[in-house]
Amino acid sequence: MTKRIGKQTVRLDSKPRIIKTTSVVGPKEGEGPLKDYFDIILQDDLDGKKSYEKAETSMIYRAVTETIKKANLKEQDIHYLIAGDLLNQLSASNFAARDMDIPFLGLYGACSTMAESLSIASMIMDGGFADHVIAATSSHFSSAERQFRVPLEMGSQRTPTAQWTVTGSGAMLLGKKGDLPYTTYVTVGKIKDYGETDTNDMGSAMAPAAVDTIKQHFQDTNRTPKDYDLIATGDLGSLGKKITQELLKEYGYDMYNNYIDCGDEIFDNEKQKTNCGGSGCGCSAVVACGYIYKNILKGNLKRALLVSTGALMSTTTSLQGESIPGIAHAVSIEFGGK
């Protein structure tokens, strides 16, 4: 019997359990509105390392190993680690996996990587190919800035539409048993590109992909926004969130009551001077592993839809004048009956 629902969605009949999660964030994130939901807050962005890239590797290693430790498991008990990041050749994830005894699958979904890794991990679990899988990702403000924009030492002025790449890493451990939150549906998105070329306006570039994936998820599952206690996009920021709400309204979906954007929530944009909010792989990762997961465990949420969004440009394509392709993937996370 097929598990495909509609055009782009998969139904997860076995309901893979999210056993444990860990969120690691930098000091700026640790001063934001969601600080009480994060497991580990670093004292400094370098985390005692010699470079920001090494610090990011340390964050994802810590998120994964701490998650395994929480579950009283060993690395040998994890059949797959599925992770990625923003750096060239997934260097943060690759070098973290180098120090673990776990089969590794590297992904590049830009800032959509948390939902992408969770989607693939859930499908592997539902297919019966593993007993335990970890989905993870990371980003770092300073490492991302010098790769995609300009080194911090140049002191360039940030535009009003710019977002602040989150320094953070999140990891989710999936298993088969337990009275725990579980994944039920995965909607894999399509690339949407409407010609946006401004790398300082990621929200506008990614919003069409978020709209398309959310709309398709509703159509495939016969659900509506009212069926969810919370719908969270990844890192569209305040501008991209507004665009998404307005475009979905044109399709007949009211997203004004139970919709948040992780990038719009993680910082106090005015006090912390983050302009349009947060971005980066770590943004939806730490909000999902922290705020969303913990509120589900507390019973405050019974059904949440995580829609991580990504801008799939590279340093080379941006310099060549290419536009910014957007992508979004959705995973339904539920707990108990509803």
Find the mean pLDDT for residues 287-291.
Answer: 97
Which tokens hold the place of 206? 């990614």
Of 116, 140, 175, the residue at which a domain comes to its end is: 175
Domain holding 275: CATH number?
A: 3.40.47.40
In this structure, are 112 and 46 located in the same domain?
A: yes
Angle at 231 between CA 32 and CA 119, to 5 degrees: 100
- Which of 143, 175, 207 delimits the end of a domain? 175
- Same domain for 14 and 152, yes or no, is yes
Which helix (H) or strand (E) is 143 found in, with range?
A: helix 141-148
Which of 158, 175, 192 is the last residue before a domain boundary?
175
Q: How many helices (H) and strands (E) does the chain have?
A: 11, 15
Model-wide pTM > 0.85: yes
CA nearest neighbour of 99 among 143, 72, 68 = 68
Q: Is the domain of 164 the same as that of 17?
A: yes
If DSSP codes are grouped into helix, strand and coil, which group holds residue 135? strand
Q: Note the pLDDT tens digit of each residue in 265-275.
A: 998 877 887 87
DSSP at 192: B
In tens, the pLDDT along 128-179 reads 999 999 999 999 988 877 766 655 555 555 655 566 688 999 999 999 999 9
Tokens of 13: 């009949």
38 and 154, same structural domain?
A: yes
Q: What's the pLDDT tens digit per position in 35-67?
A: 999 999 999 999 999 999 999 999 999 999 999
DSSP class of 288: I
Under DSSP, the state recorded for 88 is G
CA distance 324 to 202: 8
Residue 167 lies in a domain: yes
Task: Identify whether residues 198 and 133 lie together within a single domain.
Answer: no
| Residues 155 and 214 occupy one common structural domain | no
Give the residue numbers spanning the domain of 41: 4-175
197 and 96 in a common domain: no
Number of independent structural domains in the chain: 2
